Amino acid sequence: NAGVTQTPKFRILKIGQSMTLQCTQDMNHNYMYWYRQDPGMGLKLIYYSVGAGITDKGEVPNGYNVSRSTTEDFPLRLELAAPSQTSVYFCASNTQGAGTEAFFGQGTRLTVV
């Protein structure tokens, strides 16, 4: 079972470049989330979606954009990469929102130089 799949696993960006982090899930989950995790720390919510066509901001949305055109896919876009966006990014999904088990991808390690 694939679960939640993130690509790429690693990426180095130069300041000002843009990129899209891909996330897809095959569990037919309505809820999807993007988090960032700095070394040795907890996860901070960037954006989330409760279904196709619906997205909302989390704790730290500045510098990021998302879209949800299908149930399966929830890409995260960085338009103008900054060193402060160096982090590990996790995508997650679950069935009925918070309080139910969230399934995570393996993460994307992004370095902005």
Partner 1 sequence: TQLLEQSPQFLSIQEGENLTVYCNSSSVFSSLQWYRQEPGEGPVLLVTVVTGGEVKKLKRLTFQFGDARKDSSLHITAAQPGDTGLYLCAGTREGRGNQFYFGTGTSLTVIP
Q: Which of 64, 58, 51 is nearest to 21 (CA)?
A: 64
Give the footprint of partner 1 on residues 50-79 (CB under 8 A): 50, 56, 58-59
Only one of the segments 12-20, 62-70, 75-83, 102-110 lies at the binding site for partner 1 (rule: CB under 8 A); that segment is 102-110
ω before 8 within 30° of 0 (cis)?
Answer: yes
Query: Cα separation of 82 and 9, whole Å?
Result: 19
Measured from the CB atom, is 28 or 99 closer to partner 1? Answer: 99
Which positions touch partner 1 (CB under 8 A)? 4, 31, 35, 40-45, 48, 50, 56, 58-59, 90, 92, 97-107
